[in-house]
């Protein structure tokens, strides 16, 4: 396990701020659907919340990346978190079914502001650590995300019962405010190194042109498109898989989510060490293949047995290559572009993920009744395996671990 990035005060503050705010995000993302369903008794109302979130990402994700590249990334994180604190407060007025529209409006505004936070964080990170330790820093960020994923849903379920929506909203708002305060303690200015003076439309176009800028990016975005569709299928069918495949309920579903988070924590710790021994390209390729291979076992296991124990072990296992894959992909997105375009590359990656997940959800809704849940999930697992093999074959020239954060001549993601 490599903890060297924690030697840098700025990275440590960013890491802690991210852990706190992400935990708050998970808390609300679990509690809000529970509360909305209790108020309305309508699955459609819950779906509207999810659809609103995706719509905001698709409409404003790329535009947010332009402004992240125009502004000081540290200040973006501070003010976006402060704005998120204020944006959540109208949820306190959602006390009856006829006010669910207000929850949708808040979800939309929060999702738009979140499009500033993620690109700003990923664009800022390379400026806070030594280039040789960038992959290790991204590995620790993956650990951060999985810790939040483990803690947040459990707290969200408890808070939804014990505190109600008002208590959950106040906790989440406080998490954003604390995150803003921690980022404010980071010293220095972190505006993009190149001054941008082009028209907004051209900067927006340049963001999408990033996808084809280098062979590594073309391959990485292709893989991202494939895996995002798979994530859309998985997100749509996971509860159905637990019900029909394993004969389980909410308890088993929550246990499996937590098990994958445990694996992600182990993977985050392990790939911090792995970063010193291999390249980000290999981390992505091998991570994809192993993740897909374990998925194939997970989603075909119910054909032979339904005991939950082996599935829990498999979900822990699949979290490990998942963490390795994400750390490698984040590093490539950072090292294949100059600082002036980093915000846009992560924003465009987010838009692609949202679109892919939407397409995957559509495929799941259209095809599942025809081919069956296990077959659909098997296909998405196979997609990871094939994407990993293709990625390794396509990106023949591997960048060494610790590649400098600026690549001359390159004017250039993954949940």
311-347: b or e for each residue (b if 16 or more CB lie within 10 Å)?
A: bbebbbbbbbbbbbbbbbbbbbbbbbbbbbbbbbbbb
Whether 406 is covered by a domain: the verdict is: no
CATH number of the domain at 368, please.
1.20.1250.20
Give residue 401's pLDDT: 39
Whether 298 is covered by a domain: the verdict is: yes
The residue range of the domain holding 64 is 4-394
Query: How many C-beta atoms lie closer than 10 Å to residue 129's C-beta?
Result: 23
The tally of CA atoms less than 13 A away on the side-chain side of residue 239 is 4
Whether 12 is covered by a domain: the verdict is: yes
Give residue 4's pLDDT: 79
Whether 362 is covered by a domain: the verdict is: yes
Whether 404 is covered by a domain: the verdict is: no
189 to 11, 76, 77, 124, 361: CA distances (angstroms): 14, 11, 12, 10, 41
Give residue 366's pLDDT: 82
- Record the tokens describing residue 250, joined without a space: 């909410």
Whether 164 is covered by a domain: the verdict is: yes
How many domains does the chain divide into?
1
Give the rounded distance of the alpha carbon of 81 from its chain centre.
17
Give residue 47's pLDDT: 65
Whether 409 is covered by a domain: the verdict is: no
CB 156 within 8 A of CB 169: no
Give residue 407's pLDDT: 30
Dist CA 183 CA 12 (whole Å): 10
Dist CA 96 CA 90 (whole Å): 13
Task: Print pLDDT tens along the chain (415 aa).
Answer: 567 788 889 999 999 999 998 888 888 877 777 677 777 776 667 667 777 877 888 888 777 777 888 888 899 999 999 999 999 999 888 888 888 888 889 989 998 898 888 888 888 888 888 888 888 888 888 788 878 877 776 676 666 666 777 888 888 899 999 999 999 999 888 887 655 556 667 777 777 777 777 888 889 999 999 998 988 888 777 777 887 888 877 667 767 877 888 888 888 777 767 766 788 888 999 999 999 999 999 999 999 988 888 999 999 999 889 888 888 898 888 888 877 777 888 888 888 888 888 888 788 878 888 888 899 899 999 999 999 999 998 886 444 433 333 332 223 233 3
Residue 72 dihedral angles phi and psi, to the nearest 5°: -70, 120
Dist CA 71 CA 76 (whole Å): 7
Give the rounded distance of the alpha carbon of 82 from its chain centre.
21
Give residue 42's pLDDT: 66
Whether 414 is covered by a domain: the verdict is: no
Residue count of the chain = 415
């Amino acid at each position: 396990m490599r903890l060297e990035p924690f030697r840098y005060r700025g990275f440590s503050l960013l890491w802690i701020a991210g852990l706190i705010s992400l935990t708050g995000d998970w808390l609300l993302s679990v509690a809000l659907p529970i509360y909305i369903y209790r108020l309305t008794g309508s699955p459609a109302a819950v779906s509207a919340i999810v659809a609103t979130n995706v719509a905001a990402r698709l409409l404003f994700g790329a535009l947010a990346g332009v402004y992240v590249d125009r502004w000081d990334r540290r200040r973006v994180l501070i003010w976006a978190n402060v704005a998120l604190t204020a944006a959540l407060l109208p949820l306190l007025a959602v006390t009856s079914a006829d006010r669910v529209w207000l929850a949708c409006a808040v979800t939309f505004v929060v999702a738009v502001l979140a499009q500033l936070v993620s690109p700003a964080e990923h664009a800022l990170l390379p400026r806070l650590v030594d280039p040789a330790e960038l992959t290790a820093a991204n590995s620790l960020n993956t650990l951060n995300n999985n810790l939040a994923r483990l803690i947040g849903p459990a707290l969200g379920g408890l808070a939804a019962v014990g505190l109600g929506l008002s208590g959950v909203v106040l906790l989440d708002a406080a998490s954003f405010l604390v995150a803003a305060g921690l980022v404010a303690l980071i010293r220095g200015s972190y505006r993009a190194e190149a001054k941008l003076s082009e028209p907004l439309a051209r900067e927006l176009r340049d963001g999408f042109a990033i996808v084809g800028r280098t062979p590594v990016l073309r391959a990485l975005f292709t893989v991202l498109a494939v895996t995002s569709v798979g994530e859309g299928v998985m997100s749509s069918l996971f509860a159905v898989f637990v019900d029909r495949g394993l004969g389980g309920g909410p308890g088993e579903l929550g246990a499996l989510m937590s098990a994958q988070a445990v694996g992600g924590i182990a993977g985050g710790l392990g790939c911090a060490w792995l970063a010193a021994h291999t390249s980000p390209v290999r981390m992505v390729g091998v991570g994809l293949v192993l993740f897909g291979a374990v998925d194939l076992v997970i989603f075909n296991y119910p054909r032979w047995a339904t005991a939950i124990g082996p599935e829990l072990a498999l979900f822990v296992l699949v979290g490990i290559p998942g963490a390795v894959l994400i750390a490698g992909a984040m590093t490539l997105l950072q090292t294949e572009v100059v600082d002036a375009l980093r915000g846009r590359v992560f924003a465009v990656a987010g838009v692609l993920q949202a679109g892919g997940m939407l397409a995957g959800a559509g495929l799941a809704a259209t095809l599942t009744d025809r081919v069956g849940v296990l077959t659909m999930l098997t296909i998405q697992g196979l997609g990871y395996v094939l994407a990993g093999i293709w990625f390794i074959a396509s990106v023949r020239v591997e960048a060494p671990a610790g590649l400098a954060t600026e690549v001359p001549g390159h004017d250039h993601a993954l949940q």
